[in-house]
Every structure is written in structure tokens, then in C-alpha cells.
Amino acid sequence: MTGSPPWSDAVPAEWWERLAARLIEALVFGVFYYILFVALWAVFRTVGLVEVFDGRLPGVFAWLLAGLGYTVYDWTAHSMGGRTFGKAIMKIRLEPGGLRRCALLKRSLIYPGAVMVMGIPVVNVLAGIFVFGVGILILIDKPLQRGPHDRLAGTLVTKDLR
């Protein structure tokens, strides 16, 4: 055994390819969030809870539910096919093949899991800084460009040259 990682021949995805994949997914996520927000605002208004926490309650729940949905989607997509629809469009994927679901769950809880707390005042700023920090760490990790979520799961985002 040489000790080389299972992706030693793989070509790492560029940072901008990873960013574009996440932005594509964020468009769908954003629509889902706003639909949830409007629905929850209507429900909370109907039961008289819209003013609780200065009217922030619908937003907190919308971020929590949409973020949880995005996290579950990210985990499921990577577990089943090694990529999300954003990665498929950008022709990149998560390596190595045969990914462990437990490791991928940790990866998804770290990023994009931080989105779940974006509706909570003050915590949202910390979550935003964390997500920004993950992006910076991907940029400075040369040559593989792995973020902390990739390192925890033992994964690498690569170009899909098939």
C-alpha cells in the first residue's frame, strides 16, 4: 500500500466551478426559502404569532426548514450519485466513489448546514462568517482546494472527465 489518497489521479475542480455550482443551487434554495417564508408568515399571522420576537419568527423557521431541506438534499445527492445538480451542470463531482453516508452527513452538516441558523439574529452573522471562511480555506488549500467539510469527510471535488 502506497498511502496515496484514492483520488491521486483526479483533477481538482477549480474554486470558481465549485462556487458556480453552489450559486446555481442557491437560486433554487432561495425560491424555496421565500415560498416557505410567505407560507409561514401567513400561518403565524393566522394564529396570532407573527409579532413574536419582533416579527422574526417566520424568518427563523423558514431559514431552519429551508436550510434543513438543503442540507438533507446535499447529503442525499452526494450519497447517491456523488454530486448535486449544480455539480452536474458544472461537470464536477465528489470523490472518492463509494462515499460513506456517515462521513457525508458530517460534510453536509458543516456546509451547507450552517444555513439552518441564518434566521437567528447575531448567530446569522457568525454563520455568514463561517461560510465565508470555508470559501477562503478552499481558496488557500493548494493544490487540492479542499474545505474543512471535505477534509472531515475525506472527499475531494474533482472535474468529471468522463
- pLDDT, position 63: 85
pLDDT on residue 1: 45
Residue type, 117: V
Amino acid making up residue 75 = W
Q: How far apart are CA 63 and CA 37, in angstroms?
A: 8
- Inter-residue long-range contacts of 56-65, CB under 8 Å, 24+ positions, other chains counted: 56/119, 56/121, 59/119, 60/119, 60/120, 61/36, 61/119, 62/33, 62/36, 62/37, 62/119, 63/33, 63/115, 63/116, 63/117, 63/118, 63/119, 63/120, 63/124, 64/116, 64/117, 64/119, 65/36, 65/40
Q: Encode burial over 15-45: b for 16+ CB neighbours within 10 A, e otherwise.
A: eebbbbbbebbeeebeebbeebbeebbeebe
Percent with pLDDT over 70 in the chain: 88
Which pTM does this prediction carry? 0.84
Point out the residues of the chain with pLDDT beneath 70.
1-7, 50-53, 55, 97-99
CA distance to 4, 7, 74, per residue, from 25 (Å): 32, 25, 10
Nearest to 37 by CA among 17, 19, 62: 62
